[in-house]
Chains A and B, each alone.
Chain A
Amino acid sequence: MDAAQSTSPELSSNSPEPKPSTVPTQLLREKIREYTKKHREAIRAEVSDSLRFQLGEIKERIQELDNVTEKDVAGLAARIKRRKHATIEDMYRLSHAFLQNVANIQAFNKIPGSMQVLIKELTGNDSERQMSAAECLCNLSLGEGPVCEKIASAAGSYLVTYLHSTESQLVRLCLWIIANILATGQKCASVLMKMQLLPQLWKMYCDDEIADPLLDYREDAAICLQLMSLNAPNLMTQEDRNFVLQQMADKNPTCVAAEYHLFIVFHILFTEPHIISTLYPPDALYLLNFSLINLNNTNNFLTQPQRLKILYSIRVLGNLLVVQPLIYSTLLLQVSCVWKSSITALLNKLFAFHNEHLSQEALWLLKIILHLEEENAFMQPNILESIHIFEECMPFDDKPIEEEAAAAMAV
């Protein structure tokens, strides 16, 4: 009851206005607080002060949380629009509402001018309201295409501007909103791409001189670049590709978020073989070394970073060898002199992960290597004899041994 009273004065003083919600804000806060405590104990290593939820997930995680209905959202949206200003309380409630379901997001989107108020708060002079507005937009970006398009066109310029801000949490929130928009669709991604987003993100991703862990945006920038390269490669201009080509070698293979690097480079530059065939020798060597570092230093194929590292090293290496066959001798030299290993040992390591998809790609690499061996007459004796492929890691359909057995049975 106390909780209800604490929120009521502001609402009751404006009796003709629609009632925002039946759920007291303090109750919302208490539930989130309880969850925060548990969550923090579970993952102490997390630096960020924000909790992150998928659409609807908050209701599953914090079961006591009551619904904020579409009517409540419409009421809140109408109120902030009428006042041309949103309080922290309003934005806190809207944030929760958006997290709960897509209907709430659509209800907010239906009120014209309501998003402009959030943008006004985002660009205003009150730092706390600015953060609340950014959070609100982040949760609003969980919505579908039309909502994200609206955010991109109305707030995109500010999101991109704030990437240069010194306030770490604001920069992080902007990166999260941008990631959500990029993940939604090409139409909304195209608006952001026109704001020179790629060079900005690239600089953040490759920046290794970070004084404070709070200012480390490399992981978030990497996710944005990954989404951009995967979902919108056709929206990239020649300038964007040239920029990546020139700055490709800026990323250190052993630093944070390095697992995304080959993914991004592969999806942006390897779309056209002529780009790779005309790579400068230092850049080709950089890609070769990066791939070898990933392959040699990754000893499992379980987590997402490990998978990204191994798969994209194979893909980059394979294609690089196809269009620049002369680099094969350098590869052999690096493997034997630097890594004290052999090309067959490297391939066997891949097959030993016992993953059929990975084995298929490793076979593709093996095929390329065999072709180069034949062409250049390096004549490594009996490469195929030293390759160890386990039967269980090959897909059933592609098993010739099974086919042979079946044929033999038929005979």
Chain B
Amino acid sequence: MLKVRDIENLLQNIPNGYLKPDDNLFAKTNAAIILPYKKLGAINSVDIDKKLDEPDKNQQNSSEIFCNVFNCKMVFDNTASYTLHYNSMHRFICQECKKSLPTEHLLDLHLSEIHDSYFKARLDRGEKLYKCYVEECKEIFANAIERKKHCIEEHKFPANFRFGQVVPTKHNKEESKNNCGSTGMELETHTDTESVATTNETSIKNFSFGHQREKTFQLKPEPKTKSGQGKGLESFSLLKDALDMDVSK
């Protein structure tokens, strides 16, 4: 056991005051005591087990799991692969255009920018509404091009970010075609008729507050259209019906 005088002598060799993280005293301890991080790879063992169990599963056809999402015909032999499929493909899906997005934030952006006419009306008023693709970034932009520029310059995103919302204009359509040709990759672009229809609809002052089509039972006003009453309203509803027809096609 050290005596008081010995301890006092020891203390003379110890640095005094505030020590930064890169100080010698700490660096020596870290090198001697704390294990450095070792890079590790990964191999999935579930896949291997699945293959191992395959002969048994074939005997029990009743254990097949069908994906219950409309128009999805995938069949799975275990719940793990079904969960994986559901989480990746159907968790964040747009009810309007059935586009699947990887995260809640990107689905939010998609819904507001592509399907929300209130968003478009506010945009027409000159408000900045385009949020950054990075959820934690709080920057908002006046248009999608500015946002794309920001994402490429500030966040180092690739120019062909696959989950980006492409504004459905003629120019973009051409551009996306060119991109597909140049990179040889499938670039997901939004060129479906529905989005075109929504842009057309903004010219008609028809606000739907986030839902283009009302999710209620609607009686079709067919008899009214046949009659000669209310021609202005009639033409509006005819136009809307025509647009909806386009969308359904």
Contacts and interface: CB of A to CB of B under 8 A. Distances in A.
B59 to A, nearest CB: 20
Contacts of A390: 1-2
A20 interface: no
Nearest to B15: A364
Contacts of A311: 29, 33-34
Interface residues of B, number: 73
Q: Chain A interface secondary structure, helix, strand, loop or mixed? A: helix
A184 B134 contact: no
A29 interface: yes
B42 interface: yes
B134 A160 contact: yes
Interface string B199-219: 000000000000000000000
Contact of A361 (B4, B25, B85, B185): B25
A138 B18 contact: no
A389 interface: yes
A357 interface: yes
B94 to A, nearest CB: 14
Interface string B130-143: 00011111000000
Nearest to B153: A194
B39 A142 contact: yes
Interface in A348-376: 355, 357-358, 360-361, 363-364, 366-368, 370-371
Given A266-B21, A391-B2, A52 B42 contact: yes
Interface string B13-25: 1111111110001
B43 A51 contact: yes
A26 to B, nearest CB: 9
A398 B51 contact: no
B184 interface: yes
B9 interface: yes
Given A53-B41, A142-B39, A389-B2, A304 B136 contact: no
A157 B46 CA distance: 27
Contacts of A50: 42-45
Contacts of A319: 18-19
Contact of A384 (B7, B38, B185): B7
Contacts of B46: 49
A399 to B, nearest CB: 8
A388 B52 contact: no
Interface in A95-119: 95-96, 98-99, 116
Contact of A49 (B21, B32, B45, B154): B45
Contacts of B136: 196, 199-200
13 contacts: A33-B49, A54-B38, A54-B41, A92-B47, A131-B84, A139-B41, A156-B156, A161-B103, A173-B42, A180-B40, A226-B37, A360-B14, A361-B25
Closest 6 CB pairs of A and B: A400-B9, A127-B88, A139-B41, A164-B103, A196-B136, A167-B87
